[in-house]
Amino acid sequence: MKTTLGDFNPLAIAFFLLFVVSSLGITYWAAKRTKNTEQFYTAGGNISGFQNGLALAGDFMSAASFLGIAGLVALNGFDGLIYSIGFLVGWPIVMFLIAEPLRNLGKYTFADVVAFRLQQTPVRVAAAIGTLAVVSFYLIAQMVGAGNLISLLFGLPYELAVMIVGGVMLAYVIFGGMIATTWVQIIKAVLLLGGTILLAIMVLSKFGFNPLALFDAASAKYGAPVLAPGKQVANPLDAISLGMSLMFGTAGLPHILMRFYTVRDAKAARNSVMYATVLIGFFYLLTFILGFGAMVLVGQDDIKKIDAGGNMAAPLLAEVLGGDAFLGFIAAVSFATILAVVAGLTLSGAAALSHDLWVNVVRHGYANESEQLKVARAATMLLGVLAIILGIVFKGQNVAYMVGLAFAIAASANFPALLLSMLWRRFTTNGAVASMVVGTLSSLLLIYLSPTIQIDLLKQANAIFPLKNPGLVTIPLSFLVGIVVSLLSTEQLAADKFAEVEQRIQIGSEG
Partner 1 sequence: MNEREKAIASLTAERWRIALQLTAAMMFIYFGFILLIAFNRSLMGSLVLPGLSLGILLGALVIVAAWVLIYIYVRWANNNYDERIAKLLKR
Q: Which residues bind partner 1 (CB under 8 A)?
A: 78, 81-82, 84-86, 88-89, 91-93, 95-97, 211-217, 219, 224-225, 227-229, 233, 236-237, 239-240, 243, 247, 267, 270-271, 273-274, 277-278, 281, 284-285, 288, 423, 499, 502-503, 505-507, 510-511
Cβ nearer to partner 1, comparing 175 with 215: 215
Nearer to partner 1, 181 or 287 (CB): 287
Q: Between 45 and 229, whose beta carbon lies closer to partner 1? A: 229
Strand partners, 263: 47
Which residue, 278 or 488, has its beta carbon nearer to partner 1? 278
Q: Cβ(404)–Cβ(469) under 8 Å?
A: yes
Q: Which residues contact 52 (CB under 8 A, 6 or more apart)?
A: 182, 259, 260, 262, 263, 268, 269, 272, 275, 276
Alpha carbon distance 437, 123 (integer Å): 10
Spatial contact of 468 and 412, defined as CB atoms under 8 Å apart: no
Strand, coil or helix: 47: strand
Q: How far is the CB of 12 from partner 1 (least distance, A)?
A: 32
Bridge partners for 47 per DSSP: 263
Query: Is the CB of 277 or the CB of 440 nearer to partner 1?
Result: 277
Dist. CA 181–CA 74, nearest whole Å: 32
Smallest gap from residue 404 Cβ to partner 1 (A): 14
State phi, psi for 345 to the nearest 5 degrees.
Answer: -60, -45
Coil, strand, or helix at residue 263? strand
Tell me how far, at minimum, the Cβ of 36 lies from partner 1, in Å.
Answer: 28
What's the min distance (Å) between Cβ of 266 and partner 1? 9
State the nearest-atom distance from the C-beta of 146 to partner 1, in Å.
Answer: 28
Could you tell me the smallest distance in angstroms from the CB atom of residue 494 to partner 1?
A: 17
Shortest spacing between CB 71 and partner 1, in angstroms? 18
By C-beta, is 196 or 360 nearer to partner 1? 196
Shortest spacing between CB 498 and partner 1, in angstroms: 10
SS3 427: coil
Residues 6+ apart with CB under 8 A from 122: 429, 433
d(CA 491, CA 488): 10
CA distances from 265 to 52, 113, 131, 498 (A): 12, 15, 24, 21
Min dist CB 250 to partner 1, Å, is 12
**CA–CA dist 240, 307 (Å, integer):** 28
Cα–Cα distances (Å) from 203 to 82, 116, 153, 427, in that order, read 22, 51, 21, 53
Cα gap 87→80, rounded to integer Å: 11
CB closer to partner 1, 84 vs 136: 84
Q: Which is nearer to partner 1, 216 or 371 (CB)?
A: 216
Q: 138 or 284: whose CB is closer to partner 1?
A: 284
Residue 415: which of 479, 340, 343 has the closest Cα? 479
Geometric angle at alpha carbon 261, from 259 and 262, rounded to 5°: 70
Nearer to partner 1, 126 or 467 (CB): 467
Cβ distance 227 to 215 under 8 Å? yes
In angstroms, what is the minimal distance from the CB of 283 to partner 1? Answer: 10
**Integer CA distances (angstroms), 290 to 293, 313, 329, 400, in order:** 5, 9, 16, 17
**Quick one: 156 or 285, whose CB is closer to partner 1?**
285
Q: How far is the CB of 420 from partner 1 (least distance, A)?
A: 12
Least distance between partner 1 and beta carbon 273 (Å): 7
Backbone angles phi and psi of 444, in degrees to 5? -60, -45
CB nearer to partner 1: pick between 5 and 246: 246
Buried b (16+ CB within 10 A) or exposed e, 216-255: ebbbeebeeebbeeeebbeeeebbebbbbbbbbbbbbbbb
